[in-house]
C-alpha cells in the first residue's frame, strides 16, 4: 500500500491478470473512469524501445534484423525472437524492466499526490515479471478461450496456433487465477463488467481505508 500525502487516503496498487484477449485493457479503462491512474506497461515498453540506448543494445545483440525500414525498432521482429527463445526474452526484460520500473514509480508518486482512487498496473506479464509483488490486489479478468480467440483474430489477425504460441510463453492461466485476489467476468456484457469492476474497486478501497 502506498501512503498518500498528508490528508489523503492510502493509494491501493492494483494489478490486472488474465488470458491474452481477455480484456484487461478494457478493465483498466473502466478503472480509469472510476478515478484510478493506469500504468500501461505495453505502451511504456514501446516507448522504451524508442530510446537510443535501447535501440543500440538491441542492434548490438540481434543486428539490423530488428529494425524497420525507418530505422526504428520493429516490435514484430523483436517479438518473433523473444517468443520462441526464453533466454532472449529474459535478456530483453533485463534491459527494459529497470526503465519501466522508474517510469512506473514516478507515475505512482504522481497518482498518490493527486489523490487517485488507485494505481493500476496493466502489464501483459504481471506475474511473470514479478510485478504482483508491487500490488496490494490483483484482479483476474475471466473470459472463455473461444471469445478470446475471436477477439485476437479480429484485432490482431492471429489464428489459433498464434494464440497458443503466445500463451505458451506465459504462465498457465490456472496459476495466474490461483494467485489473484478478485475475479471479474468479461464475456460480452459491458454493463455487468462495469458493475463488477466498480464493486471490486470499492472493496479494495474499503480494505485500504485507515481504521479509526
pLDDT digits (tens, 9 = 90+) for 149-195: 999 999 999 999 999 988 888 899 999 999 999 999 998 889 999 99
Angle at 152 between CA 81 and CA 47, to 5 degrees: 50
* pLDDT attached to residue 121: 97
How confident is the prediction for the chain on average, in pLDDT?
Answer: 91
* pLDDT attached to residue 62: 97
In this predicted structure, the answer to whether residue 211 has a pLDDT above a threshold of 80 is: no
In this predicted structure, the answer to whether residue 3 has a pLDDT above a threshold of 60 is: no
What percentage of the chain has pLDDT greater than the value 90?
79
* pLDDT attached to residue 168: 86
In this predicted structure, the answer to whether residue 1 has a pLDDT above a threshold of 80 is: no
| Phi (first) and psi of residue 13, to 5 degrees | -100, 125
In this predicted structure, the answer to whether residue 35 has a pLDDT above a threshold of 80 is: yes
pTM: 0.85
* pLDDT attached to residue 187: 87
Q: Parallel, antiparallel, or unpaired for β 118-122 and 36-40?
A: parallel
What number of other Cβ atoms are within 10 A of residue 18's Cβ?
A: 25
In this predicted structure, the answer to whether residue 6 has a pLDDT above a threshold of 90 is: no
In this predicted structure, the answer to whether residue 101 has a pLDDT above a threshold of 80 is: yes
| Phi (first) and psi of residue 183, to 5 degrees | -135, 135
Amino acid at each position: 500500500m502506498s501512503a498518500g500525502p498528508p490528508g489523503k487516503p492510502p493509494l491501493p496498487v492494483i494489478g490486472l491478470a488474465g488470458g491474452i484477449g481477455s480484456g484487461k485493457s478494457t478493465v483498466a479503462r473502466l478503472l480509469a473512469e472510476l478515478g484510478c491512474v493506469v500504468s500501461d506497461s505495453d505502451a511504456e515498453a514501446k516507448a522504451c524501445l524508442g530510446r537510443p540506448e535501447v535501440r543500440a543494445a538491441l542492434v548490438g545483440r540481434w543486428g539490423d534484423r530488428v529494425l524497420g525500414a525507418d530505422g526504428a525498432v520493429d516490435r514484430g521482429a523483436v517479438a518473433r525472437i523473444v517468443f520462441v527463445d526464453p533466454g532472449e526474452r529474459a535478456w530483453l526484460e533485463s534491459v527494459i524492466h529497470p526503465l519501466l520500473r522508474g517510469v512506473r514509480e514516478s507515475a505512482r508518486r504522481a497518482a498518490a499526490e493527486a489523490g487517485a482512487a488507485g494505481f493500476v498496473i496493466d502489464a501483459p506479464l504481471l506475474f511473470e515479471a514479478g510485478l504482483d509483488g508491487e500490488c496490494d490486489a490483483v484482479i483476474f479478468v475471466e473470459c472463455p478461450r473461444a471469445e478470446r480467440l475471436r477477439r485476437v483474430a479480429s484485432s490482431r489477425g492471429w489464428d489459433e496456433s498464434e494464440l497458443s504460441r503466445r500463451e505458451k510463453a506465459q504462465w498457465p492461466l490456472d496459476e495466474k487465477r490461483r494467485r489473484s485476489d478478485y475475479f471479474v467476468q468479461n464475456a460480452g456484457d459491458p454493463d455487468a463488467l462495469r458493475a463488477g469492476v466498480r464493486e471490486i474497486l470499492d472493496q479494495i478501497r474499503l480494505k485500504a481505508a485507515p481504521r479509526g
